Amino acid sequence: MSDTTFKNSVLLFAEVIVPDLQDKTLIQETLFTNFDQLLNQLEYQADSKIKLLVSVIELLSFVYNFKAFHKLTYLKRKLFIDKLFQFPVGKIVAGLTGLRSLVLISYYGIEEVVSKNNNNSGR
């Protein structure tokens, strides 16, 4: 899997987890920068496992949807990811949970997001 495909797949997965990311290119870029930094700080070979998981998501998209993950609409991606969280193989679900955690940490590590959430909490 190329770096570009990996990045695009992670961002499409991230949009499902954080719908606020849709059509926000700058925030997506910042999220991926944060994600990449986190990935590089993980224990030995964890980055390889995350990349393998993203490849599995791509493969399972063909199996379940007969389409590449990036060709699915947002709604179909959401339904597909929701289905994967119910997958009968525990390691897949555990990996998805880890990937979701990395996405959320990366998202809430963005200054603009933190500022927005702090401003909204004062209402």
DSSP state of 73: -
The predicted structure's pLDDT at residue 21:
92
- Radius of gyration (Cα) for the chain, nearest Å? 15
pTM (2 d.p.): 0.89
The predicted structure's pLDDT at residue 118:
73
- Number of structural domains (the chain) is 1
The predicted structure's pLDDT at residue 47:
86
Distance separating the N- and C-terminal Cα atoms of the chain: 45
Tokens of 62: 């063909």
Residue-by-residue pLDDT tens, the chain, 123 positions: 889 999 999 999 999 999 999 999 999 999 999 999 999 898 878 888 999 999 999 999 999 999 999 999 999 999 999 999 998 888 899 999 999 999 999 999 998 887 776 777 655
Among candidate residues 100, 110, 114, 75, the one with its CA nearest the CA of residue 10: 100
Domain enclosing residue 96, as ranges: 3-121
The predicted structure's pLDDT at residue 56:
94
